[in-house]
Amino acid sequence: MLESTARNLQSYETVETEPQVKSQEIAVTHKVAISKTESLLLIGLGILTLCLMTALVTMKVSMTSAQNSLDTVTTQISNTTTSNVNLQQEVSELTSYDRLSSFAKKHNLKMSNENVRNVAK
């Protein structure tokens, strides 16, 4: 009773498997010709893009020019306003009561209520 429980591998046929040849699919790319309609559309799109770019640059230049003009006018307004304020201050100083009194004393002038007229608008 010396039988082995191991299988007798020699009794089985050995089958060799042939290496399977994998068929490689080669992707063939074909260039498709562009039709006349598509080429016209591409040309039109290119022209439209160029026109829009030119319009954008033109608008940007005109906007910059307008901004410069606005800055110039704003500066002129500021200078004129400052000049007006200075002139009003000078008028106020020249017509002050103290100055008129000192001028009257220099020239020997006297204030007489009989010669004063009140004018209302």
pLDDT in tens, 42-86: 999 999 999 999 999 999 999 999 999 999 999 999 999 999 999
The pLDDT score that the predictor gives to residue 42 is 96
> In which band, very low, low, confident or very high, does the pLDDT at 39 lie, cut at 50, 70 and 90?
very high
| Position 10 pLDDT exceeds 80 | no
Cα-Cα-Cα-Cα torsion 88, 91, 92, 96, nearest 10 degrees, comes to 180
d(CA 12, CA 5): 16
Q: Could you tell me the pTM of the whole model?
A: 0.51
d(CA 61, CA 68): 11
